[in-house]
Structure 1
Amino acid sequence: MILTVLIFCLVLGSIVGFLAGLLGIGGGLIIVPALVYLLPLVGVSSEIVMPVALGTSLGAIVITSASAAFAHHRQDNIPWSLARPLMILIAIGALLGAFIADSLSSEVLAGFFSVVVVLLAVYMLLSINASKVRSLPATYVLPSLSFFTGVIASLMGIAGGAILVPMLSFFGVSVRHSIGIATACGVMVALFGSLGYIITGFNLTNLPEWSFGYIYLPALLGIVMSSIIFAPIGVKYASQLPVKTLKKIFAVFLILVAIKMMLS
Protein backbone atom coordinates (compact mmCIF):
# COMPACT_ATOMS: atom_id res chain seq x y z
CA MET A 1 0.00 0.00 0.00
CA ILE A 2 2.93 2.34 0.63
CA LEU A 3 4.08 1.84 -2.97
CA THR A 4 0.52 2.56 -4.15
CA VAL A 5 0.47 5.80 -2.17
CA LEU A 6 3.88 6.79 -3.56
CA ILE A 7 2.75 6.19 -7.16
CA PHE A 8 -0.54 8.02 -6.61
CA CYS A 9 1.31 10.97 -5.07
CA LEU A 10 3.69 11.12 -8.03
CA VAL A 11 0.61 11.59 -10.23
CA LEU A 12 -0.88 14.05 -7.72
CA GLY A 13 2.36 16.03 -7.61
CA SER A 14 2.48 16.33 -11.38
CA ILE A 15 -1.06 17.75 -11.42
CA VAL A 16 -0.34 20.08 -8.51
CA GLY A 17 2.92 21.30 -10.04
CA PHE A 18 1.39 21.93 -13.46
CA LEU A 19 -1.63 23.83 -12.06
CA ALA A 20 0.57 25.82 -9.67
CA GLY A 21 2.75 26.92 -12.56
CA LEU A 22 -0.17 27.53 -14.91
CA LEU A 23 -2.59 29.32 -12.58
CA GLY A 24 -0.31 30.60 -9.81
CA ILE A 25 -2.38 28.72 -7.22
CA GLY A 26 -0.86 26.90 -4.24
CA GLY A 27 -0.94 23.13 -4.37
CA GLY A 28 -2.39 22.70 -0.89
CA LEU A 29 -5.91 23.32 -2.17
CA ILE A 30 -5.55 20.12 -4.22
CA ILE A 31 -3.16 18.11 -2.02
CA VAL A 32 -5.26 18.20 1.16
CA PRO A 33 -8.55 16.81 -0.28
CA ALA A 34 -6.62 14.15 -2.24
CA LEU A 35 -4.73 12.99 0.86
CA VAL A 36 -7.92 12.92 2.93
CA TYR A 37 -9.21 10.17 0.60
CA LEU A 38 -5.82 8.49 0.08
CA LEU A 39 -4.37 8.23 3.59
CA PRO A 40 -6.99 5.81 4.98
CA LEU A 41 -5.55 3.25 2.51
CA VAL A 42 -2.41 3.05 4.66
CA GLY A 43 -4.32 2.81 7.92
CA VAL A 44 -4.59 6.46 8.92
CA SER A 45 -7.64 6.65 11.18
CA SER A 46 -10.40 9.19 10.63
CA GLU A 47 -9.48 10.90 13.92
CA ILE A 48 -6.09 12.06 12.62
CA VAL A 49 -6.50 12.01 8.83
CA MET A 50 -6.87 15.80 8.54
CA PRO A 51 -3.79 16.75 10.61
CA VAL A 52 -1.71 14.22 8.62
CA ALA A 53 -3.03 15.61 5.32
CA LEU A 54 -2.36 19.20 6.44
CA GLY A 55 1.13 18.48 7.78
CA THR A 56 2.13 16.50 4.69
CA SER A 57 0.81 19.22 2.41
CA LEU A 58 2.83 21.90 4.19
CA GLY A 59 5.93 19.70 4.14
CA ALA A 60 5.65 19.36 0.36
CA ILE A 61 5.10 23.10 -0.04
CA VAL A 62 8.37 23.93 1.79
CA ILE A 63 10.47 22.85 -1.18
CA THR A 64 8.21 24.10 -3.98
CA SER A 65 7.63 27.50 -2.36
CA ALA A 66 11.35 27.95 -1.61
CA SER A 67 12.16 27.30 -5.27
CA ALA A 68 9.50 29.79 -6.38
CA ALA A 69 10.66 32.43 -3.87
CA PHE A 70 14.28 32.13 -5.08
CA ALA A 71 13.13 32.60 -8.68
CA HIS A 72 11.09 35.69 -7.75
CA HIS A 73 14.04 37.11 -5.76
CA ARG A 74 16.31 36.77 -8.79
CA GLN A 75 13.77 38.70 -10.85
CA ASP A 76 13.45 41.45 -8.19
CA ASN A 77 9.79 40.62 -7.61
CA ILE A 78 10.06 40.72 -3.80
CA PRO A 79 10.15 44.16 -2.10
CA TRP A 80 11.95 42.93 1.03
CA SER A 81 11.24 46.07 3.07
CA LEU A 82 7.54 45.16 2.91
CA ALA A 83 7.98 41.39 2.92
CA ARG A 84 10.23 40.91 5.99
CA PRO A 85 7.80 42.05 8.74
CA LEU A 86 5.00 40.09 7.09
CA MET A 87 7.18 36.95 6.96
CA ILE A 88 7.93 37.09 10.71
CA LEU A 89 4.31 37.37 11.78
CA ILE A 90 3.00 34.89 9.23
CA ALA A 91 5.56 32.36 10.55
CA ILE A 92 4.31 32.84 14.12
CA GLY A 93 0.72 32.49 12.93
CA ALA A 94 1.55 29.29 11.01
CA LEU A 95 3.22 27.70 14.05
CA LEU A 96 0.23 28.62 16.21
CA GLY A 97 -2.15 27.24 13.58
CA ALA A 98 -0.50 23.80 13.79
CA PHE A 99 -1.03 23.68 17.56
CA ILE A 100 -4.66 24.80 17.13
CA ALA A 101 -5.17 22.05 14.53
CA ASP A 102 -3.84 19.45 16.97
CA SER A 103 -6.59 20.40 19.43
CA LEU A 104 -9.42 20.16 16.87
CA SER A 105 -11.15 17.08 15.49
CA SER A 106 -10.74 16.01 11.86
CA GLU A 107 -14.42 16.82 11.29
CA VAL A 108 -13.96 20.43 12.46
CA LEU A 109 -10.78 20.84 10.40
CA ALA A 110 -12.49 19.41 7.30
CA GLY A 111 -15.43 21.75 7.79
CA PHE A 112 -13.13 24.76 8.25
CA PHE A 113 -11.12 23.80 5.14
CA SER A 114 -14.30 23.40 3.08
CA VAL A 115 -15.84 26.72 4.11
CA VAL A 116 -12.65 28.73 3.47
CA VAL A 117 -12.08 26.99 0.11
CA VAL A 118 -15.59 27.94 -1.00
CA LEU A 119 -14.98 31.58 0.03
CA LEU A 120 -11.63 31.66 -1.80
CA ALA A 121 -13.12 30.07 -4.92
CA VAL A 122 -16.04 32.51 -4.99
CA TYR A 123 -13.62 35.41 -4.58
CA MET A 124 -11.52 33.98 -7.42
CA LEU A 125 -14.58 33.93 -9.68
CA LEU A 126 -15.58 37.49 -8.79
CA SER A 127 -12.12 39.09 -8.90
CA ILE A 128 -10.68 37.71 -12.15
CA ASN A 129 -11.51 40.90 -14.03
CA ALA A 130 -11.29 43.30 -11.06
CA SER A 131 -8.86 46.18 -11.45
CA LYS A 132 -9.69 48.71 -8.70
CA VAL A 133 -6.57 49.87 -6.87
CA ARG A 134 -6.29 51.19 -3.30
CA SER A 135 -3.38 52.57 -1.26
CA LEU A 136 -1.54 50.74 1.53
CA PRO A 137 -3.34 50.86 4.90
CA ALA A 138 -1.89 51.89 8.28
CA THR A 139 1.40 50.16 9.16
CA TYR A 140 -0.15 47.75 11.68
CA VAL A 141 -2.91 46.46 9.36
CA LEU A 142 -0.88 44.32 6.93
CA PRO A 143 1.24 42.67 9.67
CA SER A 144 -1.92 41.86 11.64
CA LEU A 145 -3.59 40.40 8.56
CA SER A 146 -0.45 38.39 7.75
CA PHE A 147 -0.51 36.84 11.24
CA PHE A 148 -4.10 35.67 10.80
CA THR A 149 -3.25 34.52 7.27
CA GLY A 150 -0.53 32.33 8.78
CA VAL A 151 -2.99 30.77 11.23
CA ILE A 152 -5.62 30.13 8.52
CA ALA A 153 -3.06 28.80 6.01
CA SER A 154 -1.61 26.38 8.56
CA LEU A 155 -5.10 25.16 9.47
CA MET A 156 -5.71 24.51 5.75
CA GLY A 157 -2.33 23.07 4.77
CA ILE A 158 -1.73 25.77 2.14
CA ALA A 159 1.04 28.32 1.56
CA GLY A 160 -1.35 31.25 1.92
CA GLY A 161 -0.88 32.75 -1.53
CA ALA A 162 -4.58 32.36 -2.31
CA ILE A 163 -5.22 34.75 0.60
CA LEU A 164 -2.17 37.03 0.43
CA VAL A 165 -2.14 37.82 -3.30
CA PRO A 166 -5.70 39.21 -3.47
CA MET A 167 -5.23 40.96 -0.10
CA LEU A 168 -2.02 42.72 -1.16
CA SER A 169 -3.45 43.53 -4.59
CA PHE A 170 -6.52 45.01 -2.88
CA PHE A 171 -4.25 47.39 -0.97
CA GLY A 172 -2.47 48.62 -4.07
CA VAL A 173 0.60 46.37 -4.25
CA SER A 174 1.34 45.43 -7.86
CA VAL A 175 0.43 41.90 -8.90
CA ARG A 176 4.08 41.07 -9.59
CA HIS A 177 5.15 42.19 -6.10
CA SER A 178 2.07 40.61 -4.48
CA ILE A 179 2.96 37.21 -5.92
CA GLY A 180 6.62 37.66 -4.95
CA ILE A 181 5.77 38.57 -1.35
CA ALA A 182 3.26 35.70 -1.18
CA THR A 183 5.89 33.15 -2.28
CA ALA A 184 8.38 34.43 0.32
CA CYS A 185 5.71 34.30 3.02
CA GLY A 186 4.65 30.88 1.74
CA VAL A 187 8.10 29.53 2.63
CA MET A 188 7.59 30.68 6.23
CA VAL A 189 4.06 29.27 6.41
CA ALA A 190 5.17 25.90 5.09
CA LEU A 191 8.37 25.74 7.17
CA PHE A 192 6.93 26.78 10.53
CA GLY A 193 3.55 25.17 9.92
CA SER A 194 5.12 21.79 9.10
CA LEU A 195 7.44 22.18 12.11
CA GLY A 196 4.37 22.63 14.29
CA TYR A 197 2.75 19.51 12.81
CA ILE A 198 5.96 17.53 13.45
CA ILE A 199 6.07 18.66 17.10
CA THR A 200 2.40 18.07 17.86
CA GLY A 201 2.35 14.62 16.24
CA PHE A 202 5.80 13.43 17.28
CA ASN A 203 4.85 11.09 20.16
CA LEU A 204 1.59 9.73 18.75
CA THR A 205 1.40 5.94 18.52
CA ASN A 206 -1.50 5.66 16.06
CA LEU A 207 0.35 7.14 13.07
CA PRO A 208 1.29 4.90 10.09
CA GLU A 209 4.84 3.70 9.45
CA TRP A 210 7.19 6.23 7.82
CA SER A 211 5.54 9.18 9.56
CA PHE A 212 7.52 12.08 10.99
CA GLY A 213 5.08 13.67 13.36
CA TYR A 214 1.96 14.37 11.32
CA ILE A 215 3.96 14.29 8.05
CA TYR A 216 3.62 11.07 6.02
CA LEU A 217 6.96 10.74 4.22
CA PRO A 218 6.03 8.48 1.21
CA ALA A 219 3.28 10.93 0.18
CA LEU A 220 5.62 13.87 0.73
CA LEU A 221 8.32 12.29 -1.43
CA GLY A 222 5.96 11.47 -4.30
CA ILE A 223 4.40 14.94 -4.40
CA VAL A 224 7.73 16.79 -4.25
CA MET A 225 9.50 14.66 -6.88
CA SER A 226 6.90 15.21 -9.59
CA SER A 227 5.69 18.73 -8.74
CA ILE A 228 9.20 20.14 -9.17
CA ILE A 229 9.30 18.68 -12.69
CA PHE A 230 5.84 19.78 -13.80
CA ALA A 231 5.70 23.31 -12.30
CA PRO A 232 7.99 24.79 -15.02
CA ILE A 233 5.82 23.11 -17.67
CA GLY A 234 2.77 24.87 -16.24
CA VAL A 235 4.64 28.19 -16.35
CA LYS A 236 5.51 27.55 -19.99
CA TYR A 237 1.87 27.02 -20.98
CA ALA A 238 0.59 29.96 -18.90
CA SER A 239 1.12 32.32 -21.85
CA GLN A 240 -0.44 29.93 -24.37
CA LEU A 241 -3.69 28.84 -22.67
CA PRO A 242 -6.79 30.89 -21.66
CA VAL A 243 -5.78 31.25 -17.99
CA LYS A 244 -8.83 33.33 -17.01
CA THR A 245 -11.18 30.64 -18.31
CA LEU A 246 -9.12 27.93 -16.61
CA LYS A 247 -9.25 29.84 -13.31
CA LYS A 248 -13.03 29.94 -13.51
CA ILE A 249 -13.17 26.20 -14.15
CA PHE A 250 -10.71 25.57 -11.31
CA ALA A 251 -12.72 27.75 -8.92
CA VAL A 252 -15.89 25.76 -9.70
CA PHE A 253 -13.90 22.54 -9.21
CA LEU A 254 -12.72 23.74 -5.78
CA ILE A 255 -16.30 24.51 -4.75
CA LEU A 256 -17.43 21.02 -5.75
CA VAL A 257 -14.52 19.43 -3.83
CA ALA A 258 -15.32 21.51 -0.74
CA ILE A 259 -19.01 20.56 -0.88
CA LYS A 260 -18.04 16.87 -1.22
CA MET A 261 -15.81 17.15 1.86
CA MET A 262 -18.60 18.81 3.86
CA LEU A 263 -21.13 16.13 2.87
CA SER A 264 -18.76 13.24 3.71
Structure 2
Amino acid sequence: MTVSFLITVFVLGAVGSYISGLVGVGGSIINYPLLLYVPALLGVGSFTAHDVSGAIAVQVLFATVGGVWGYRKGSYLHASLIGYMGTSIIIGSLLGSLFSGAFSESMINITYALLATIAVIMMVLPQQSMQQEAQESVSFSRWIAAGSAFVVGVSAGIVGAAGAFILVPIMLVVLKIPTRVTIATSLAVTLLSSIGTSAGKLITGQVPFLPAAVLIAASLLAAPLGAKTARHVQAKWLQRALAVLLLGVAVEMWIQMLI
Protein backbone atom coordinates (compact mmCIF):
# COMPACT_ATOMS: atom_id res chain seq x y z
CA MET A 1 0.00 0.00 0.00
CA THR A 2 1.33 3.43 -0.99
CA VAL A 3 1.39 6.59 1.13
CA SER A 4 -1.01 8.29 -1.29
CA PHE A 5 -3.45 5.43 -0.89
CA LEU A 6 -3.39 5.67 2.90
CA ILE A 7 -3.75 9.46 2.81
CA THR A 8 -6.79 9.06 0.57
CA VAL A 9 -8.26 6.53 3.00
CA PHE A 10 -7.68 8.92 5.92
CA VAL A 11 -9.39 11.86 4.17
CA LEU A 12 -12.38 9.74 3.14
CA GLY A 13 -12.64 8.32 6.65
CA ALA A 14 -12.58 11.79 8.19
CA VAL A 15 -15.41 12.94 5.92
CA GLY A 16 -17.57 9.94 6.80
CA SER A 17 -16.85 10.22 10.51
CA TYR A 18 -17.68 13.92 10.65
CA ILE A 19 -21.02 13.19 8.98
CA SER A 20 -21.61 10.33 11.43
CA GLY A 21 -21.46 12.69 14.37
CA LEU A 22 -23.46 15.36 12.57
CA VAL A 23 -26.53 13.35 11.51
CA GLY A 24 -26.33 10.36 13.85
CA VAL A 25 -25.04 7.64 11.54
CA GLY A 26 -21.93 5.51 11.81
CA GLY A 27 -20.22 6.89 8.72
CA SER A 28 -20.47 3.68 6.68
CA ILE A 29 -23.31 5.07 4.56
CA ILE A 30 -20.86 7.42 2.88
CA ASN A 31 -17.56 5.60 3.46
CA TYR A 32 -18.67 2.38 1.76
CA PRO A 33 -19.14 3.87 -1.75
CA LEU A 34 -16.28 6.34 -1.26
CA LEU A 35 -13.75 3.67 -0.31
CA LEU A 36 -15.04 1.25 -2.92
CA TYR A 37 -14.85 3.66 -5.87
CA VAL A 38 -12.78 6.80 -5.15
CA PRO A 39 -9.28 5.28 -4.56
CA ALA A 40 -9.60 3.30 -7.79
CA LEU A 41 -10.81 6.38 -9.70
CA LEU A 42 -7.83 8.36 -8.38
CA GLY A 43 -5.46 5.55 -9.33
CA VAL A 44 -3.94 5.24 -5.84
CA GLY A 45 -5.18 1.74 -5.06
CA SER A 46 -8.37 -0.25 -4.69
CA PHE A 47 -10.47 -2.26 -2.24
CA THR A 48 -12.69 -5.27 -2.76
CA ALA A 49 -16.21 -5.17 -1.34
CA HIS A 50 -15.11 -7.55 1.43
CA ASP A 51 -12.12 -5.31 2.27
CA VAL A 52 -14.34 -2.24 2.51
CA SER A 53 -16.98 -3.97 4.61
CA GLY A 54 -14.33 -5.22 7.05
CA ALA A 55 -12.46 -1.91 7.33
CA ILE A 56 -15.55 0.24 7.86
CA ALA A 57 -16.95 -2.23 10.39
CA VAL A 58 -14.01 -1.42 12.67
CA GLN A 59 -14.03 2.27 11.70
CA VAL A 60 -17.70 2.66 12.63
CA LEU A 61 -16.98 1.24 16.08
CA PHE A 62 -14.57 4.08 16.83
CA ALA A 63 -16.61 6.72 14.99
CA THR A 64 -19.64 6.00 17.15
CA VAL A 65 -17.56 6.07 20.34
CA GLY A 66 -16.57 9.61 19.42
CA GLY A 67 -20.12 10.56 18.51
CA VAL A 68 -21.64 9.20 21.72
CA TRP A 69 -18.91 10.92 23.73
CA GLY A 70 -19.95 14.19 22.13
CA TYR A 71 -23.53 13.72 23.39
CA ARG A 72 -22.60 12.49 26.87
CA LYS A 73 -23.50 15.75 28.63
CA GLY A 74 -26.88 16.26 26.96
CA SER A 75 -30.29 14.76 27.71
CA TYR A 76 -30.74 13.07 24.34
CA LEU A 77 -29.45 9.54 25.05
CA HIS A 78 -32.56 7.41 25.72
CA ALA A 79 -31.41 4.55 27.97
CA SER A 80 -34.48 2.31 27.54
CA LEU A 81 -34.47 2.60 23.76
CA ILE A 82 -30.74 1.89 23.69
CA GLY A 83 -31.34 -1.21 25.80
CA TYR A 84 -34.06 -2.76 23.62
CA MET A 85 -32.61 -1.87 20.22
CA GLY A 86 -28.98 -2.33 21.25
CA THR A 87 -29.43 -5.86 22.56
CA SER A 88 -31.25 -6.98 19.42
CA ILE A 89 -28.94 -5.30 16.96
CA ILE A 90 -25.73 -6.64 18.46
CA ILE A 91 -27.06 -10.20 18.11
CA GLY A 92 -28.27 -9.59 14.56
CA SER A 93 -25.08 -7.85 13.43
CA LEU A 94 -22.89 -10.63 14.79
CA LEU A 95 -24.92 -13.26 12.92
CA GLY A 96 -24.93 -11.23 9.70
CA SER A 97 -21.19 -10.58 9.78
CA LEU A 98 -20.36 -14.22 10.52
CA PHE A 99 -22.27 -15.36 7.42
CA SER A 100 -21.18 -12.45 5.20
CA GLY A 101 -18.18 -14.38 3.89
CA ALA A 102 -20.57 -16.59 1.95
CA PHE A 103 -21.89 -13.57 0.00
CA SER A 104 -20.35 -12.51 -3.31
CA GLU A 105 -19.19 -8.92 -3.84
CA SER A 106 -22.19 -8.17 -6.04
CA MET A 107 -24.56 -9.52 -3.38
CA ILE A 108 -22.95 -7.30 -0.74
CA ASN A 109 -23.29 -4.25 -3.00
CA ILE A 110 -26.93 -5.07 -3.79
CA THR A 111 -27.70 -5.50 -0.08
CA TYR A 112 -26.13 -2.12 0.65
CA ALA A 113 -28.01 -0.38 -2.16
CA LEU A 114 -31.31 -1.91 -1.03
CA LEU A 115 -30.78 -0.75 2.55
CA ALA A 116 -29.99 2.79 1.40
CA THR A 117 -33.06 2.81 -0.89
CA ILE A 118 -35.37 1.63 1.90
CA ALA A 119 -33.95 4.32 4.18
CA VAL A 120 -34.60 7.02 1.55
CA ILE A 121 -38.21 5.88 1.11
CA MET A 122 -38.77 5.98 4.87
CA MET A 123 -37.26 9.45 5.17
CA VAL A 124 -39.68 10.94 2.61
CA LEU A 125 -42.78 9.41 4.18
CA PRO A 126 -45.06 11.89 6.00
CA GLN A 127 -43.90 12.36 9.58
CA GLN A 128 -45.74 13.47 12.67
CA SER A 129 -44.67 16.87 13.95
CA MET A 130 -42.78 16.43 17.23
CA GLN A 131 -41.76 19.42 19.26
CA GLN A 132 -40.08 17.82 22.26
CA GLU A 133 -36.34 17.55 21.86
CA ALA A 134 -35.38 15.71 25.06
CA GLN A 135 -36.08 12.15 26.05
CA GLU A 136 -38.74 12.91 28.66
CA SER A 137 -42.22 11.57 27.78
CA VAL A 138 -40.91 9.66 24.73
CA SER A 139 -42.82 6.39 24.31
CA PHE A 140 -42.30 3.57 21.80
CA SER A 141 -43.26 -0.04 21.03
CA ARG A 142 -40.68 -2.31 22.61
CA TRP A 143 -41.44 -5.19 20.22
CA ILE A 144 -41.16 -3.05 17.11
CA ALA A 145 -37.97 -1.44 18.40
CA ALA A 146 -36.32 -4.78 19.19
CA GLY A 147 -37.58 -6.61 16.09
CA SER A 148 -36.62 -3.89 13.62
CA ALA A 149 -33.19 -3.54 15.23
CA PHE A 150 -32.53 -7.29 14.84
CA VAL A 151 -33.43 -7.24 11.12
CA VAL A 152 -31.28 -4.16 10.57
CA GLY A 153 -28.44 -5.81 12.47
CA VAL A 154 -28.43 -8.92 10.29
CA SER A 155 -28.53 -6.87 7.07
CA ALA A 156 -25.94 -4.37 8.24
CA GLY A 157 -23.63 -7.13 9.47
CA ILE A 158 -23.49 -8.49 5.92
CA VAL A 159 -22.21 -5.21 4.46
CA GLY A 160 -19.99 -4.23 7.40
CA ALA A 161 -22.13 -1.26 8.39
CA ALA A 162 -23.66 -0.75 11.80
CA GLY A 163 -27.04 0.18 10.32
CA ALA A 164 -27.47 3.71 11.66
CA PHE A 165 -28.45 5.02 8.25
CA ILE A 166 -31.61 2.90 8.38
CA LEU A 167 -32.02 2.98 12.17
CA VAL A 168 -32.51 6.74 12.05
CA PRO A 169 -35.49 6.58 9.63
CA ILE A 170 -37.00 3.74 11.68
CA MET A 171 -36.75 5.80 14.87
CA LEU A 172 -38.14 8.92 13.22
CA VAL A 173 -40.93 7.44 11.09
CA VAL A 174 -41.94 4.17 12.79
CA LEU A 175 -41.15 4.76 16.47
CA LYS A 176 -41.89 8.53 16.34
CA ILE A 177 -38.80 9.53 18.32
CA PRO A 178 -37.83 13.26 18.30
CA THR A 179 -35.01 14.15 15.94
CA ARG A 180 -32.26 15.05 18.41
CA VAL A 181 -33.05 12.09 20.67
CA THR A 182 -32.95 9.90 17.54
CA ILE A 183 -29.57 11.24 16.44
CA ALA A 184 -27.91 10.76 19.84
CA THR A 185 -29.58 7.43 20.67
CA SER A 186 -28.94 5.94 17.22
CA LEU A 187 -25.22 6.53 17.73
CA ALA A 188 -25.32 4.53 20.97
CA VAL A 189 -27.29 1.70 19.33
CA THR A 190 -24.90 1.80 16.38
CA LEU A 191 -21.96 1.50 18.77
CA LEU A 192 -23.40 -1.77 20.09
CA SER A 193 -24.15 -2.97 16.56
CA SER A 194 -20.61 -2.24 15.44
CA ILE A 195 -19.25 -4.42 18.24
CA GLY A 196 -21.07 -7.43 16.80
CA THR A 197 -20.21 -6.54 13.21
CA SER A 198 -16.53 -5.95 13.95
CA ALA A 199 -16.24 -9.19 15.91
CA GLY A 200 -17.76 -11.20 13.05
CA LYS A 201 -15.52 -9.56 10.42
CA LEU A 202 -12.41 -10.16 12.54
CA ILE A 203 -13.31 -13.79 13.18
CA THR A 204 -13.84 -14.42 9.45
CA GLY A 205 -10.63 -12.59 8.43
CA GLN A 206 -12.27 -9.78 6.47
CA VAL A 207 -10.47 -6.81 8.08
CA PRO A 208 -7.47 -5.19 6.29
CA PHE A 209 -5.66 -3.95 9.40
CA LEU A 210 -3.58 -1.02 8.12
CA PRO A 211 -6.45 0.75 6.28
CA ALA A 212 -8.69 0.02 9.27
CA ALA A 213 -6.16 1.68 11.59
CA VAL A 214 -6.04 4.76 9.34
CA LEU A 215 -9.85 4.95 9.36
CA ILE A 216 -9.88 4.66 13.15
CA ALA A 217 -7.51 7.62 13.45
CA ALA A 218 -9.75 9.66 11.15
CA SER A 219 -12.81 8.68 13.20
CA LEU A 220 -11.34 9.73 16.53
CA LEU A 221 -10.50 13.13 15.05
CA ALA A 222 -13.65 13.92 13.06
CA ALA A 223 -16.66 12.24 14.74
CA PRO A 224 -16.67 14.40 17.93
CA LEU A 225 -16.46 17.53 15.77
CA GLY A 226 -19.57 16.43 13.88
CA ALA A 227 -21.49 15.85 17.11
CA LYS A 228 -20.54 19.31 18.40
CA THR A 229 -21.62 20.92 15.13
CA ALA A 230 -25.01 19.16 15.28
CA ARG A 231 -25.87 20.96 18.53
CA HIS A 232 -25.89 24.27 16.67
CA VAL A 233 -27.96 23.14 13.67
CA GLN A 234 -31.78 23.07 13.60
CA ALA A 235 -33.20 19.53 13.80
CA LYS A 236 -35.16 19.86 10.56
CA TRP A 237 -31.95 20.67 8.65
CA LEU A 238 -30.18 17.64 10.12
CA GLN A 239 -33.09 15.48 8.98
CA ARG A 240 -33.04 16.95 5.48
CA ALA A 241 -29.28 16.57 5.22
CA LEU A 242 -29.58 12.87 6.08
CA ALA A 243 -32.34 12.37 3.49
CA VAL A 244 -30.25 14.01 0.74
CA LEU A 245 -27.20 11.97 1.75
CA LEU A 246 -29.14 8.70 1.65
CA LEU A 247 -30.62 9.54 -1.74
CA GLY A 248 -27.22 10.37 -3.21
CA VAL A 249 -25.65 7.14 -1.93
CA ALA A 250 -28.56 4.98 -3.13
CA VAL A 251 -28.45 6.49 -6.63
CA GLU A 252 -24.66 6.18 -6.82
CA MET A 253 -24.70 2.52 -5.75
CA TRP A 254 -27.35 1.55 -8.29
CA ILE A 255 -25.59 3.45 -11.10
CA GLN A 256 -22.25 1.78 -10.34
CA MET A 257 -23.84 -1.68 -10.38
CA LEU A 258 -25.68 -1.05 -13.66
CA ILE A 259 -22.72 0.27 -15.66
Aligned residues: 245
Conserved? CA contact 1:122–1:251, under 8 Å: no
Give the superposition deviation at 1:193. Answer: 0.5
Residue pairs, 1:123-134, within 5 angstroms: 123-124=122-123, 126-127=124-125, 130-132=127-129
Q: CA RMSD in A?
A: 2.8
Q: Structure 1 residues 151, 72: closer, same or farther in 2, change over 3 A?
A: same
Aligned residue in 2 for 1:16: 16
- Aligned AA for 1:160? G
Aligned residue in 2 for 1:230: 222
What is the percentage of aligned positions where both structures have the same residue?
Answer: 22
Is 1:141 aligned to 2:138, yes or no? Answer: no
Give the superposition deviation at 1:146. Answer: 1.4
- Aligned AA for 2:198? S
Give the superposition deviation at 1:147. Answer: 1.0
Aligned residue in 1 for 2:61: 62
Q: Which moves more between the two structures, 110-119 or 240-249?
A: 240-249
Tell me the distance in 1 between the aligned counterparts of 2:45 and 2:148.
Answer: 38
Give the counterpart of 1:258 among 244, 249, 253: 253
Aligned residue in 1 for 2:158: 155
Tell me the distance in 2 between the aligned counterparts of 1:131 and 1:161.
Answer: 21
Tell me the distance in 1 between the aligned counterparts of 2:25 and 2:111.
Answer: 19
Tell me the distance in 2 between the aligned counterparts of 1:22 and 1:74.
Answer: 16
Aligned residue in 1 for 2:208: 216
Tell me the distance in 1 between the aligned counterparts of 2:116 and 2:44.
Answer: 25
Is 1:179 aligned to 2:183, yes or no? Answer: yes
Aligned residue in 2 for 1:77: 76
Is 1:34 aligned to 2:19, yes or no? Answer: no
If the length of structure 1 is used for normalisation, what is the TM-score?
0.79
Tell me the distance in 1 between the aligned counterparts of 2:256 and 2:164.
Answer: 22
Counterpart of 1:215 in 2: which secondary structure? coil
Conserved? CA contact 2:25–2:183, under 8 Å: no
Give the superposition deviation at 1:50. Answer: 1.8
Q: Structure 1 residues 240, 71: closer, same or farther in 2, change over 3 A?
A: closer
- Aligned AA for 1:63? F
Please list every run of 5 or more consecutive structure 2 residues that lacks an aligned counterpart in the other structure: 131-137
- After superposition, what is the alpha-carbon deviation per residue over 1:232-256, rounded to whole angstroms, capped at 9, x for unaligned? 4444554469656644542442133
Aligned residue in 2 for 1:193: 197
Give the superposition deviation at 1:157. Answer: 2.4
Counterpart of 2:90 in 1: which secondary structure? helix
Tell me the distance in 2 between the aligned counterparts of 1:72 and 1:99.
Answer: 31
Counterpart of 2:71 in 1: which secondary structure? helix
Tell me the distance in 2 between the aligned counterparts of 1:7 and 1:199.
Answer: 27
Please list every run of 5 or more consecutive structure 1 residues that lacks an aligned counterpart in the other structure: 202-213
Residue pairs, 1:72-111, within 5 angstroms: 72-111=71-110
- Aligned AA for 1:259? W
Aligned residue in 2 for 1:168: 171
Give the superposition deviation at 1:26. Answer: 3.0
